[in-house]
Amino acid sequence: MTGIIILFLICVGGFAFCIIIGKMIGGNDPIDDKGEPTDIEKLRSFLSGHLGNKQEIIVGVLGKYNVLNDETIRKNGLCFVTDVAYYFIGSIWQKKFIFNWKSNVQHRIVATQINGVKLKNLFPWYALVYLVFLVFAGYKYIDIFKHLPQDAEYSFGVFVFFCLILISTLFFIIYSILVMIFRRNTTIDIEFGSQTFCFLINRLGRQEIKDFYSAVSSIQENVESRLTEQKRETSNFNTKTNRSVSAGERNFEMRIDNKITALQDLTKLYEQNSITEDEFKKLKKELLGNEE
């Protein structure tokens, strides 16, 4: 009986934990920040202090209200984008497959490495862990009940208690499944190769999200334009180099052909006794450029 009670108390604790986590993460509605005042000087001062290059121009911020509030400046992270790179500072959600976790970061990633900015969901992995534990607990309930002493006076009360526990466990299982299906918080995912940084939209302002998307679009257009120009310059350089090489090869081949023809003519003159052996050797040496 003690084992059943301990397992049941753990199940109740897990149920309470899931509810608390769900409330902490919140819903899927962004903050209405229309007309919300912004301390521009404080924001600019904070962001400028994290620039890798002072020549970079800041064009967008995601999570700017975390900067303006001293209490959440590290608790909730932010991302700001310049004309050449993305910066991630503070406690930020990261994602790998269905797993997600929060960690303190301070990253600078070049804009050319971005894969995209997308709206996705944060999978409630805690509900999956809770579900696995509930299945294990249900199995243990049945196993423990089978090994209870078969006492007629004792069995009815135990049976009622056991049924209540099973019904509660079934309710917890249904709850955890519903959480996994419906409790998926919408996030803005910024993807770089194997790294994905997530921001819950319920912690961001509507206008803030629009401005950030606009900034990302303009930066990506500039990056793509620069890459296209670099490719064009590289292609032109390779074409000019190939032309120069081809011209040099043709000149070299012409010089070789001329030497061969001259050497053949010189040999004919010597064979016809038109020139002496000494003259032949002298002229041949001059023709080959002292290579003998």
| Mean pLDDT, the chain, whole residue set | 77
* Residue that is last in its domain, among 132, 165, 183: 183
State whether 24 and 42 are in the same domain: no
pLDDT digits (tens, 9 = 90+) for 197-251: 988 888 888 888 888 888 888 888 777 776 677 667 676 666 655 555 455 555 5
The total domain count for the chain is 2
Looking at the structure, do residues 142 and 199 belong to the same domain, yes or no?
no
Among candidate residues 1, 10, 17, 15, the one with its CA nearest the CA of residue 171: 15
Residues 183-194, mean pLDDT to the nearest whole number: 85
What CATH number does residue 90 fall under?
Answer: 2.30.29
pLDDT at 14: 86
Where among 134, 167, 183 does a domain terminate?
A: 183
Q: What is the pLDDT of residue 22?
A: 76
Q: For residue 259, what pLDDT is reported?
A: 66
Give percent of the chain with pLDDT exceeding 70.
75
265 within a domain of the structure (yes/no): no
Q: Which tokens hold the place of 66? A: 């975390």
Task: Answer whether residue 283 is part of any domain.
Answer: no
- Has residue 261 been placed in a domain? no
> By three-state DSSP, how is residue 32 classified?
coil
Q: 177 vs 86, 92, 135, 186, CA distance in Å?
A: 37, 26, 12, 18
Task: Note whether 151 and 201 are same-domain residues.
Answer: no
Q: Which residues sit opposite 117 in a β-bridge?
A: 190
Q: Are residue 38 and residue 171 in the same domain, yes or no?
A: no
Does the residue 168 lie in any domain? yes
pLDDT tier at 166 (50, 70, 90 boundaries)?
confident
d(CA 13, CA 9): 6
> Are 165 and 201 within one domain?
no
With 0-12 CB in 10 A as exposed, 13-18 as middle and 19+ as buried, what is 103?
exposed
pLDDT in the model for residue 37 = 59
Residue 3 sits in the same domain as residue 102: no
Same domain, 200 and 89: yes
Asked whether the predicted pLDDT for residue 176 surpasses 80, the reply is yes
Tell whether 99 and 191 lie within a shared domain.
yes
Residue that wins the pLDDT comparison between 15 and 256: 15
Residue 159 lies in a domain: yes
pLDDT of 38 over the 70 cut: no
Mean pLDDT of 103-124: 85
pLDDT at residue 291 tops 50: no
Do residues 92 and 193 both lie within one domain?
yes
- Check residue 239 and give its pLDDT: 62
Give the containing element (helix H, strand E) for 249: helix 206-271
**Same domain (yes/no): 151, 202:** no
Q: Which residue has the higher pLDDT, 161 or 192?
A: 192
* Residue 148 is assigned to a structural domain of this protein: yes
Higher pLDDT, 54 or 25: 54
Q: What is the span of the domain harbouring residue 161?
A: 1-28+124-183
Most trustworthy range by pLDDT among 32-41, 106-115, 137-146: 106-115
| Residue 289 domain-assigned (yes or no) | no
Q: Is 143 helix (H, G, I), strand (E, B) or coil?
A: helix
Report the half-sphere exposure of 8 (CA within 13 A, side-chain side).
18
Whether 112 and 162 share a structural domain:
no
Query: Left if phi > 0, otherwise alpha if psi is -120 to 50, otherwise beta: which for 92?
Result: beta
- Kindly report, residue by residue over 51-86, the tens digit of the pLDDT: 877 788 888 888 877 776 656 666 778 888 888 889
Q: How far apart are CA 265 and CA 215, in angstroms?
A: 75
Answer yes or no: is 262 within a domain.
no
In this structure, are 82 and 221 located in the same domain?
yes
Q: Which residues contact 14 (CB under 8 A, 6 or more apart)?
A: 130, 133, 134, 172
